Amino acid sequence: MTDDDAGTAAGEPRPARVALTDAAAELLARLRRRHGDLMFHQSGGCCDGSSPMCFPAGDFLTGDADVHLGDLTVPEAPGGPDDGGATFTVPVWMSRAQFEYWSHTHLTIDVVPGRGAGFSVEAPEGVRFLIRSRLFTDAEAEALRG
């Protein structure tokens, strides 16, 4: 499940900036059946901490102050794209100011038990989305710059 960046100068696909765990993908499939198309915006703090917030598509307005990190490809049902199953995409956004700090990291959206962001659509499920991050390797960072 990757983002939609175009290829590098060498013709290789750029590394994804965002990814998704299987547990988060399963939750997104359930949430999409209930809420329709979805989107993420990585919260920069304030009342919801620093959490990936999931909204019905268009409910959170993005603009020039935001960076589109990529589109997650999510299977609609178990088995998903590897067995020819249908998929949908979920765009992931972050504020440009926050991206300046996180531009060197790969982000994986996961889900864990507990209450998180009150405005995010998973809140009534008793779980919350969270970000797991790692630094890009030197090769990944170079490919993203290319």
Set out the domains of the chain in order of their start, with CATH numbers.
Answer: 18-145 (2.60.300)
Distance CA 107, CA 67 (A): 14
Distance CA 118, CA 5 (A): 31
Give me the pLDDT at residue 141, please: 93
Give me the pLDDT at residue 55, please: 96
pTM of the predicted structure, to 2 decimals: 0.84
Alpha helices (runs of H) in 1-146, residue ranges in sequence order: 22-35, 96-102, 138-145
Give me the pLDDT at residue 47, please: 54
- Tens place of pLDDT for every residue, the chain, 146 residues? 433 333 344 566 889 999 999 999 999 999 999 999 999 998 776 655 578 999 999 999 999 999 999 999 999 976 555 556 899 999 999 999 999 999 999 999 999 998 765 789 998 899 999 999 999 999 999 999 87
Give me the pLDDT at residue 92, please: 97
pLDDT tens per residue across span 14-43: 899 999 999 999 999 999 999 999 999 987
Give me the pLDDT at residue 22, please: 96
Closest by CA to 113, choosing from 25, 27, 19, is: 27
Give me the pLDDT at residue 48, please: 52
Can you count the helices (H) and strands (E) in the chain?
A: 3, 7
Q: What strands lie across the sheet with 87-95, from one edge to the other? A: 52-56, 38-42, 87-95, 66-75
Give me the pLDDT at residue 51, please: 83
Distance CA 98, CA 94 (A): 7
Distance CA 21, CA 47 (A): 25
Query: Which tokens in the block code for residue 36?
Result: 């329709």
